[in-house]
C-alpha cells in the first residue's frame, strides 16, 4: 500500500518561477505530501507498465545498476510506455555524461537523476546536459517526439526544461553539498543511502539499522535542500519508508521492482510450503 506516503505534508519551500514550472509535472497535481517514485531495475517493458499504472507519481528507469542501458531499444520502449501512462518518466543514466543523458531525454524522459555528483563541476555538467543552448549544451534531436508528432519538450514554447536531480552518495559530495545545491538549475538532491553509507565507512545496511552517522548525514542533506529552496529525495530500503515520510523528504523511492518481486515471490512460495511434500525430488540421470 502506497497511500500512507501522502499522510504527512512536508514543508514546501518557495521556489523561483522557472524551477516551479519544472517541478509542476511531479508536485503540481495529486494529494499533498511526499511523492512516490517507482524504480525499474529489471529492464522489462511489462514491469514498466505495472509500475507506471500502480499509483507512483514517477517511474525512474535505472540504466546505471539496472538490466538495460540508455542506448537500447528496450529502454526506448520502456520510456514510451511510461510517457503514455499517468506517471512522469525519469531515468538514471549510466554516468553523468552528456551523451547518455541526451539520449534518455530524447527518448522522452522528463528528468534525470544523475549518479555520483561529487562537486560543483559535476552538478554544472548535469544541468548543461539537460538544457539546450544558450542555457546548456544539449544537442537537438528528440527522436521520440519527432516520431510521434509531438512538440519538442524543452524548446520554443515548451521551455519546461527537464528536471536535473543530483545524487549525493559520496563523502566528497557531502563536504560540499551546500555548493552543489546552490548551482543554478539543480532541482533536487537525491540521497543514495547504500553508497553514501559505504563512503562514510558504515555498513551497506546502515539505513535499515538506524546508524546515527548515516542518519545525521542524510538529515543534513535534506536540510540543505530545504534551505536552498530545492527538493529532497531519497531511496528508501525495506522498513525505512515511514521514517523517511516522518523526516519530511519531498520524494521517496520505497525500493525497486526486483526487490518487490523477490519479496512477493518468496511470500507466495512460503504460502505453499506448509502443504508441500517432504519427499525430495528424484535426481536427474
Q: Catalytic residue, from 65, 73, 158, 220: name it.
A: 65
Rounded Cα distance, 189 and 231, in Å = 6
**209: Cβ contacts below 8 Å, ≥ 6 apart:** 203
How distant, in Å, are the alpha carbons of 1, 23, 166 from that of 62? 23, 20, 14
- The reply to whether 220 belongs to the active site is no
Rounded Cα distance, 260 and 185, in Å = 33
DSSP conformation letters of 68-86: --TT-HHHHHHHHHHHTSS
**250: Cβ contacts below 8 Å, ≥ 6 apart:** 10, 12, 27, 34, 35, 188, 225, 231, 232, 233
**Dihedral sign from CA coordinates of 92, 37, 164, 240:** negative
Burial category of 269 from C-beta neighbours within 10 Å (exposed 0-12, middle 13-18, buried 19 and up): exposed
Q: Kindly state the cell numbers that stand for 188.
A: 533536487
**Which active-site residues does the annotation give?**
65
Amino acid at each position: 500500500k502506497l497511500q500512507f506516503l501522502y499522510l504527512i505534508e512536508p514543508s514546501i519551500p518557495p521556489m523561483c518561477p522557472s524551477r516551479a514550472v519544472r517541478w509542476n509535472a511531479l508536485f503540481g497535481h495529486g494529494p499533498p505530501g511526499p511523492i512516490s517514485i517507482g524504480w525499474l531495475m529489471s529492464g522489462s517493458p511489462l514491469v514498466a507498465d505495472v509500475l507506471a499504472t500502480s499509483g507512483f507519481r514517477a517511474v525512474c528507469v535505472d540504466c546505471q545498476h539496472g538490466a538495460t542501458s540508455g542506448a537500447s531499444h528496450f529502454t526506448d520502449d520502456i520510456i514510451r510506455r511510461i510517457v503514455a501512462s499517468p506517471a512522469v518518466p525519469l531515468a538514471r543514466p549510466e554516468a553523468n555524461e552528456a551523451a547518455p543523458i541526451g539520449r534518455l531525454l530524447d527518448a522522452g524522459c522528463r528528468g534525470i537523476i544523475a549518479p555520483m555528483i561529487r562537486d560543483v563541476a559535476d552538478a554544472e555538467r548535469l544541468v548543461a546536459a539537460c538544457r539546450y543552448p544558450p542555457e546548456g549544451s544539449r544537442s537537438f534531436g528528440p527522436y521520440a517526439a519527432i516520431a510521434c508528432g509531438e512538440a519538442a519538450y524543452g524548446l520554443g514554447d515548451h521551455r519546461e526544461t527537464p528536471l536535473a536531480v543530483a545524487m549525493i552518495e559520496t563523502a566528497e559530495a557531502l563536504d560540499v553539498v551546500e555548493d552543489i545545491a546552490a548551482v543554478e538549475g539543480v532541482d533536487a538532491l537525491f540521497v543514495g543511502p547504500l553508497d553514501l553509507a559505504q563512503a562514510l565507512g558504515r555498513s551497506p545496511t546502515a539505513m535499515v539499522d538506524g546508524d546515527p552517522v548515516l542518519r545525521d548525514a542524510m538529515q543534513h542533506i535534506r536540510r540543505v535542500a530545504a534551505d536552498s529552496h530545492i527538493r529532497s529525495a531519497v531511496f528508501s530500503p525495506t522498513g525505512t519508508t515511514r521514517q523517511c515520510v516522518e523526516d519530511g523528504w519531498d520524494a521517496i523511492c520505497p525500493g525497486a521492482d526486483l526487490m518487490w518481486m523477490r519479496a512477493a515471490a518468496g511470500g507466495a512460495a512460503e504460502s505453499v510450503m506448509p502443504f508441500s511434500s517432504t519427499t525430495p525430488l528424484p535426481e536427474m540421470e
